[in-house]
Amino acid sequence: MAFGRSSRMGPPPVDPVTLKILVAGGFGVGKTTLVGAVSEIRPLRTEEHLTEASRPVDDLDGVEAKSTTTVAMDFGRITLRDDLVLYLFGTPGQDRFWFLWDELAQGALGAVVLADTRRLGDSFAAIDYFERRRLPFLVGVNCFEGADRYPPETVRAALDLDADVPLLLCDARDRASVKEVLVTLVQHALTFTAPPAAEPVT
């Protein structure tokens, strides 16, 4: 009897590469929804109910129905391939939690900046943040029901995005749509060349 490795055995399992992805954007843009829609584990959420005390600092124009807010982060995980796993970290959207962004951004491959055409100006802070850090990112325009729809070129011009920054229309509630956004971000990040740092003004 011959002993040896069976020809029917496949290759040994490969330890997956894990990549950290940020999901950022303004208050109420759908970051928690996006992470929850695609995560293969029960997502970790740090949401608290909005109170009267927060009304002077949380702008609810356009998102009047919103009753909770992320106060630290959201966390989820998705396996894109057997050898590739993404860890998703959703950032808080309010200005008063910006101090958490630097911690969350450490070790990140790239970021999804969610945008809402009803409150497009809320995207500028996140875009500026990742441009300053020279971290690859894309913009996902979350198509809310009842919101005006604009061609991607119009949104790109309004956000003053560089030509190499991907912009996609998406639905943060839909797993397939979110997965397309994440795959596009990984592809973009793997070919990204950081621009040179600005020369100091003398």
Cα distance between residue 49 and residue 68, in whole Å: 4
Domain membership of residue 39 (yes or no) is yes
Domain membership of residue 2 (yes or no) is no
Domain membership of residue 106 (yes or no) is yes
- With DSSP H G I counted as helix, E B as strand and the rest as coil, what are the percentages for the chain, rounded to 5? 30, 25, 45
Q: Cβ-count burial of 19 within 10 angstroms (0-12 exposed, 13-18 middle, 19+ buried)? A: buried
- Residue 147: its pLDDT value, please? 86
* Total number of domains in the chain: 1
Domain membership of residue 15 (yes or no) is no
Domain membership of residue 16 (yes or no) is no
Q: Inter-axis angle of helices 31-38 and 175-190, to 10 degrees?
A: 100
Cα distance between residue 144 and residue 148, in whole Å: 9
- Residue 145: its pLDDT value, please? 87
Enumerate long-range contacts of 1-10, CB under 8 Å, 24 or more apart. none
Using the Cα atoms of residue 54, residue 59, residue 124 and residue 183 in order, give the sign of their dihedral: positive
- Any idea of the CA torsion for 92, 178, 28, 146, to the nearest 10 degrees? 170
What does the pLDDT look like over 67-117, one tens digit per residue? Answer: 455 445 899 999 999 999 999 999 986 665 667 889 999 999 999 999 999
Look up the CATH number of the domain holding residue 98: 3.40.50.300
Domain membership of residue 62 (yes or no) is yes
Domain residues for the domain of 155 are 24-190
Domain membership of residue 56 (yes or no) is yes
Domain membership of residue 7 (yes or no) is no
Closest CA to 167 of 158, 175, 36, 21: 158
Q: What pLDDT band is residue 54 in, cutting at 50, 70 and 90? A: very low
Joined tokens for residue 26? 């303004």
184, 168 contact by CB (below 8 A): yes
98, 117 contact by CB (below 8 A): no
Q: Give pTM, 2 decimals.
A: 0.78
